[in-house]
Amino acid sequence: MSPTLDVVVPVYNGWDLTASCLEHLSLQTLPHDAIVCDNGSTDDTPARVRATFPEVRVVELGANLGFAAACNRGVGSGRGEIIVLLNNDVVRRPDFLERLVAPFGDDESIGSVAALLLKPGEERIESFGVAADPTLAGFPRLRGAPAREAQTTEPVLVGPSGAAAAFRRRAWEAVGGLDEGVVSYGEDVDLALRLRAAGWASAAAADAVAIHIGSASAVTRSAWQRYQGGFARGYFLRRYGVLRSGVAVRAAATEAIVVFADSLIFSRDLAALRGRIAGWRAADDRPRNPRPPEEAIDARITFWKSLRLRFRVFTEREPGGSCT
C-alpha cells in the first residue's frame, strides 16, 4: 500500500501562482491531501481557495509569521505518513509526487528526499537539494549546472530544498520540524542538518522534476532580504556553536569578507551585518544543536569555493540561495 501523503503549500498573496500550483496538483498521479497554509494574505487567497478548490484544506495564520511557521502549522494540521513542502511557484510534471516519494519505500532510514528543480527552459538546474560546507553554510546544490549532470554525487547532499521537499513524518516530528526562530532563509538547511544528526538519511530523486518559476526573474535583493539572510546566518552560527569549533577562524573570516563586500561594494548598507548581530543575539537562550555527521558535510567546499558560492548571490541578483 502507498503511504498517505500531505502536500503543504505555504502562501502569502500571489493568487495566480497558488491557483496554478493547485491546478497542477490536481493532475498528479498519486493520491494526496493538499493543504494551503496562508500567511495573512491580503488578496483574499483563503476565500478563493475554498471557492475554487473545495477539496483543499486551508489553514489561516492571520498574519505573516514566516515560512517556517506556515509550514509547521500546515504539517501539524495533517496526518499523512509522508509530508511534501511545495512553494506555489514550482510547476510539476504529473508524476512528480509519485517519483518524489518512491525512495521512502526502498529504505526505512530515509527521512527526506530532494526533488530536482530546474530553471525555466529546463536546461539548467536551479537546485537539487542543498549542500553544506564545514562552517555549515548552506548552498543550493548544483545550481547553474546543466540538467544532464543531475546524477552526479558531488557536492554531497545534506537534504532537500524547502521549495520542493519530501519528509517522513516520523523523522519530521522527531526533530521538531522547521525552526521558527528565523523568519526566512536557512530553515531548510538547518532541518536537513538536524535530521542527519538524528541519524536519518536523505535521498535525491532525479526523476522527480519540477520547474522553479521564481528563479526566472532577476531582482535586486532588498534590504529586508539581506537582513533576514544575515539574521539566519548569525542565528544558526550560534545555535551550532560554529565559532567555538575547529572551523571558527574560517567561519569568522568568511563572514567578515562577505559582510564587508556587501556593505561597501554590492549593497552599500549594513543590513547584512545588522541581521547577523540580531540573529546571534536571538539565539542566546536557545540550546546548541548537535553537529551533523561528517559524511553529511562536503569538505571539498573549500574556503575559496565557499566564497565564490556566497558571492554568486550578488552576481546572479536572485533572491534566496546561500546566506549573505
pLDDT band at 20 (very low <50, low <70, confident <90, very high): very high
**To which H or E segment does residue 15 belong?**
helix 15-26
pLDDT band at 268 (very low <50, low <70, confident <90, very high): confident
Q: What is the pLDDT of residue 252?
A: 97
Q: Please report, as a single letter, which amino acid is at residue 311.
A: F
- pLDDT above 90 as % of the chain: 84
Please compute the mean of the pLDDT values over residues 57-71 and round it to a whole number: 95
- Torsions phi, psi for 25 (to 5 deg): -65, -35
Please compute the mean of the pLDDT values over residues 298-315 and round it to a whole number: 86
Reply yes or no on whether the pLDDT at 323 is more than 90. Answer: no
Q: What is the pLDDT of residue 313?
A: 62
**3-state SS record for 158-225:** CECCCCEEEEEHHHHHHHCCCCCCCCCCCHHHHHHHHHHHCCCEEEEEEEEEEEEHHHCCCCCCCHHH
Reply yes or no on whether the pLDDT at 176 is more than 50. Answer: yes
pLDDT band at 264 (very low <50, low <70, confident <90, very high): confident
Reply yes or no on whether the pLDDT at 16 is more than 60. Answer: yes
pLDDT band at 270 (very low <50, low <70, confident <90, very high): very high
Q: What is the pLDDT of residue 315?
A: 58
Reply yes or no on whether the pLDDT at 70 is more than 90. Answer: yes
- pLDDT above 70 as % of the chain: 94
The mean pLDDT of the chain is 92
Which domains are present in the chain? Answer: 5-215 (3.90.550.10), 223-316 (no CATH)
pLDDT band at 310 (very low <50, low <70, confident <90, very high): confident
Between CA 101 and CA 93 the distance in angstroms is 14
**Comparison of pLDDT for 186 and 153, the residue scoring more:** 186
DSSP string of 142-172, one letter each residue:
TTTSBGGGTT---SPP-B--TTEEEEEHHHH
pLDDT, tens only, 205-252: 999 999 998 754 334 578 888 999 999 999 999 999 999 999 999 999
Q: Which residues pair with 90 in a beta bridge?
A: 212
Cis? peptide before 140, omega within 30° of 0? no
Please compute the mean of the pLDDT values over residues 57-78 and round it to a whole number: 96
Between CA 121 and CA 288 the distance in angstroms is 42
Quote the pTM value: 0.93
Between CA 244 and CA 315 the distance in angstroms is 31
Q: What is the pLDDT of residue 316?
A: 59
**CB atoms closer than 10 angstroms to residue 222:** 12
Please compute the mean of the pLDDT values over residues 173-200 and round it to a whole number: 96
